Amino acid sequence: MKNLDKNENLEFLKGINKNPFKTPVGYFEGLEKEVLNKLAPPKANIRVVKNTRFNLMSIAASVTLLICSGYLYMKMESSNRENAMVKNETVIKNYLLDRIDEVDYETLYSWNVAEDDVELDGAVIEELDLDQIEPESLIDL
């Protein structure tokens, strides 16, 4: 007992095994490694890059996208054409309505009534006061 005085010797503990503890075989040999492993910073996750060269899913998705784009393009084209036609009709109609003011009503009447009808509806026509009729109504006559 290097640090114990003679009068500190404990007679009643004579024969006691001061180190009755054992460790698993190789415990102390592996301790440094185990502690240093705990101290090491965790390794960064390595990202796995997928090989997409022959990925069937991506090919199918591309084809679907192409078809959808084509369909939408065609739809837009036909819609534009219809819009253009409607626009043309409106322009023609407006043009005609503007012209009505410039053309005399008799001419308009002649555009709308066939020669056969003149005889048939002659009496009625005579009774009409063309000055009182709206230009749009004349077209329907």
Partner 1 sequence: MSHLEDHEILSIIKNITESERGFRLLIGKYKERLYYHIRRMVLSHDDADDILQNTFIKVFRGINGFEGNSQLFTWLYRIATNETLTFIEQKKRKKTETLDNPDLVLVGSLKADPFFEGGQAEIKLAKALLELPEKQKLVFQMRYYDELSYKEISEILGTSEGALKASYHHAVAKVEQFFKVND
Binding site for partner 1 (CB under 8 A): 1-4, 8, 10, 12-13, 15-24, 27-28, 31-32, 34-36, 38-39
CB of 44 to partner 1, least distance (A): 20
2, 11, 13, 14 from 5: Cα distances, Å: 8, 13, 15, 15
CB of 48 to partner 1, least distance (A): 30
* Cβ proximity to partner 1, 1 vs 57, nearer residue: 1
* Cβ proximity to partner 1, 18 vs 50, nearer residue: 18
CB of 19 to partner 1, least distance (A): 6
* Cβ proximity to partner 1, 34 vs 121, nearer residue: 34
53, 76, 93, 99 from 86: Cα distances, Å: 49, 15, 11, 20
* Cβ proximity to partner 1, 5 vs 129, nearer residue: 5
Tokens encoding 116: 């056969």
CB of 56 to partner 1, least distance (A): 50
Tokens encoding 12: 């009643």
H-helix or E-strand containing 77?
helix 56-102
95: left (phi over 0), alpha (psi -120 to 50) or beta: alpha
